[in-house]
Amino acid sequence: VQLVESGGGLVHTGGSLTLSCAASGFYFDDYAIGWFRQAPGKEREGVACITTSDGAPFYADSVKGRFTIFVERGKNTVVLRMNSLQNEDTDVYYCGRFRDDFCPTGWITTRRLDSWGQGTQVTVSA
């Protein structure tokens, strides 16, 4: 199993970034994929989750209306498009594979994940 994130960087408040998670080593449609973020000294928290087989998205309340998660078909890639970025969105962002083929109840925690990428830093500055 391999998950490789890309697309992080520095952006001004109100700006946009697009993160990508390239998956390999497993059958893509058999697992839900999520984006999580973590600040130093804090727990990793869910941002968005997607059922890869049908593209059904789920979002944390803090990002609804600003972030969009979708699947790039044929590339086994899950994309997180982030708009209207705020200072509080500054974190290391990780993609993770769920043990399930759907976004489970309580997906926003890390209990149901079994694999992670290496993370990518997102920094939002004024």
Q: What is the pLDDT of residues 40-88, one digit of tens each?
A: 999 999 999 999 999 999 999 999 999 999 999 899 999 999 999 999 9
Q: Residue 33 in contact with residue 41, Cβ under 8 Å?
A: no
Q: Using DSSP, state whether 71 is helix, strand or coil.
A: strand
Check pLDDT > 90 for residue 111. no
Structure tokens at 49: 């989750």
Look up residue 58 and give its amino acid.
Answer: F
What does DSSP say about strands 120-125 and 9-12: parallel, antiparallel, or unpaired? parallel
**In the sheet that 67-72 helps form, which strands lie side by side, from edge to edge?**
2-6, 17-24, 77-82, 67-72
Structure tokens at 81: 């498009």
Query: What are 17-49's pLDDT values in tens digits?
Result: 999 999 999 999 999 999 999 999 999 999 999
Question: In this predicted structure, what is the pLDDT of residue 75?
Answer: 95
Ramachandran category for residue 29: left, alpha or beta (phi over 0 → left; psi -120 to 50 → alpha): alpha
Q: Residue 23 in contact with residue 97, Cβ under 8 Å?
A: yes
Side-chain-facing half-sphere of 99: CA atoms under 13 Å:
8
Question: In this predicted structure, what is the pLDDT of residue 73?
Answer: 86
